[in-house]
Amino acid sequence: MNRRAFVQSLCAGLGTVGLRGALHGATPHFAPRAKHLIVLFMTGGPSQMDLFDPKPALMKYAGQRPASVDLRTERVTGGLLPSPFAFKKHGRNSVEVSELLPRLAGVIDEVCVLRSVYTFNPTHTPARSLIHSGNISAVRPSIGAWISYGLGTENQNLPGFVVLSGGASGLWRSGFLPAEHQGTQIARVEPVPDKMVRYLRNARLDAEAQRRQIDLMQAMNRGHNEEFGGDEFLDGRIQAMETAFRMQFAASDAFELKQEPDAVREEYGSTQFGQQCLLARRCVERGVRSVFIYYGNGQPWDDHQKIEKNLRGRCPDMDQASAALIADLKRRGLLDETLIVWGGEFGRTPVSESGDGRDHNPYGFTMWMAGGGVRGGMAYGATDEFGFKAVENRVSVHDLHATILHQMGLDHEKLTYRYAGRDFRLTDVHGEVVKAVLA
């Protein structure tokens, strides 16, 4: 008997009974377009003018400081800084993409570029908090927790909300939502799965010996429950114990990247971000609801200085892995039901900082979405002639949240949680679904 069949035999007959609270009768408000969400988060704030939002006027007015760019940002800024990168039109609708991103350009027909996103704070921490939870103070539930709360998970043997991030942060918190909805963090994609999930593997017992131990424990538990006369917590715990046992193998299976053919692993690239994207695909394939990937440690896209050199160094692996994820999901027929969202906490200024960098810019920046029922091959909205402020078809961070929830089958005005005396929403009192980008 091979290992997998053996493990299946250990788990046989136990059924897959839902846990108390894990599903809580959660159903979408309407038919969802996407079952899964993958967020590719570019911490630090990537530059829209250099990647997705070409601004020829920057060249024309290079070094100048027209009145329209005199918007307050975090640091002191100088004159307009042209992008050193060439843009070309790609795909059936001629969407312009920077030369830094040849592979994403190749799948642009699956991508909807949102050029007019804006948010409300020019500093990293509050801005990140805003884009994760709709609020500047770092205490509200993240969108991943809201989705877990609203939809539950499809696979009882894996966490419903997985976070791939090397950093420590509260960005995937459940806030006032029940704790089970918080993101389960995997700090680093490793060749060995049990390094990724805490306490995943028993260091002492093999599966068979552990099965015997759990059988003993469950025999005691059932005896105790019977003697007590039956209790919900005691029932729930017996089930949770079985699920935990199965999770050891389910997670080991899901997280074992070496099961992938070499060609696939190479397509994503051997970098940490590449491996994270591949892991995300394996997770959604197995029913994980949301996967949030954070590119690099710290805030790598925070290019206050030397932006040209930095982007040249950083873009290739981001480009390769993001494009591979889209292509791979598409081949497997999963792209339709998986919404991918790419972006940072804000964008960058068209005016220079320190001569060769760009400051934070919450007034207008680019994010993109792919799959999950959004229109591909499309650029939506526009910033002003220099790329500073969103001026056309503006998409606020709340609109973005409303749209993501909508694709997941959730009405952002109905997804509420009663706390501290009132009903809270991810979008508070804001948010409009951006219908124009929906397929």
Partner 1 sequence: MRENREPNPMRLAAALFALPVFVLQAQDSAGVEFFETKIRPVLAAKCYACHSAKAKSPVGGLALDEKSATQRVIGNGKLLRAMKYADPNLQMPPGGKLPDAVLADFAKWIELGAPDPRTDAPAVSAKPAGPDFAKGRKWWAFQSLREAAASKSAWAKRKHDGFVFDALQRAGLPPSPEADRRTLIRRVALNVTGIAPTFAETEAFVNDGAPDAYEKLLEGLLASERYGERWGRYWLDVARYGEDNPTSEATNPGYQFAWRYRDWVIETLNRDLPYDRFVKMQLAADQLPGFQRADLRALGYVGAAPVYHKDHRLSRDVIETLASDDWDERVDAVSRGVLGLTVACARCHDHKFDPISTKDYYAMAGVFASVMPARLPLKAPPDAETERKQAYAQTRSFYLNYLVRLMKGEPETVLDPEKKSAGFKEELARIKREYSAEVTGEVAHAVIDAGLWIDGSVADLTQLDYRVGQPRDLPVFKSGNPANPGDIVPRRFLTVLERGEPLPFTRGSGRLELAEKLFSETAAPLAARVMVNRVWGWHFGKPLVGTPSDFGTQGEAPTHPELLDDLAARFVANGWSLKWLHREILLSAAYRQASKPRADGREKDPTNKWLWRMNPRRLDFEAWRDSLLADSGALDETRGGPSIEIDSPTAVRRSVYAKVSRGRLNPLLKLYDFPDPNQHAPNRELTTTPLQQLFVMNSPVAEAQADRLAQRAVASSSDERQRVRFLYRAALARDPNGREVDLGLSYLERAGWSEYVQALLGSSEFTFWP
Footprint of partner 1 on residues 177-196 (CB under 8 A)?
178-180, 182, 184-185
Helix residue spans in 286-429 (DSSP H): 307-331, 397-407
DSSP state of 231: -
Which residue, 138 or 415, is less far from partner 1 as judged by CB? 138
User: Which residues inside 110-139 make contact with partner 1, applying CB under 8 A?
Assistant: 118, 120-123, 125-126, 130, 136-139
Burial 259-274 (b: 16+ CB within 10 A, else e): ebeeeebebbbebbbb
Taking CB under 8 A as the binding criterion, the range among 234-242, 256-264, 333-341, 377-385 that sits at the site for partner 1 is: 234-242
User: Which residues inside 135-174 make contact with partner 1, applying CB under 8 A?
Assistant: 136-139, 157, 159, 168-170, 173
282 binds partner 1 (CB under 8 A): no
Binding map of partner 1 across residues 23-52, x = CB under 8 A, - = no contact: ------------------------------
User: Which residues inside 391-420 make contact with partner 1, applying CB under 8 A?
Assistant: 420
Considering only the C-alpha atoms of the chain, give the largest distance between any 2 of them, rounded to a whole number of Å: 83
Which residue, 74 or 99, is less far from partner 1 as judged by CB? 74
Which residue, 25 or 229, is less far from partner 1 as judged by CB? 229
Count helices and strands (H / E) in the chain.
12, 17
Closest separation between CB of residue 58 and partner 1, Å? 19
Between CA 434 and CA 68 the distance in angstroms is 27
Pick one of 229, 261, 263, 435: the residue that binds partner 1 (CB under 8 A).
229
213 binds partner 1 (CB under 8 A): yes
Closest separation between CB of residue 315 and partner 1, Å? 25
CB 162 within 8 A of CB 283: yes
Residue 202, number of CB atoms within 10 A of its CB = 14
201 binds partner 1 (CB under 8 A): yes
Closest C-alpha to 274, from 347, 333, 323, 223: 323
Strand 111-118 to 365-370 pairing: antiparallel
Pick one of 196, 247, 321, 395: the residue that binds partner 1 (CB under 8 A).
247
176 binds partner 1 (CB under 8 A): yes
202 binds partner 1 (CB under 8 A): yes
Strand 184-186 to 382-383 pairing: unpaired
Angle made by CA atoms 235, 247, 265, in degrees to the nearest 5: 160
Separation in Å, CA 359 to CA 73, 76, 310: 7, 8, 14
344 binds partner 1 (CB under 8 A): no
CB 158 within 8 A of CB 247: yes
Residues in the interface with partner 1 (CB under 8 A) total 81
11 binds partner 1 (CB under 8 A): no
Closest separation between CB of residue 13 and partner 1, Å? 18
Which residue, 225 or 271, is less far from partner 1 as judged by CB? 225
Between CA 14 and CA 16 the distance in angstroms is 7
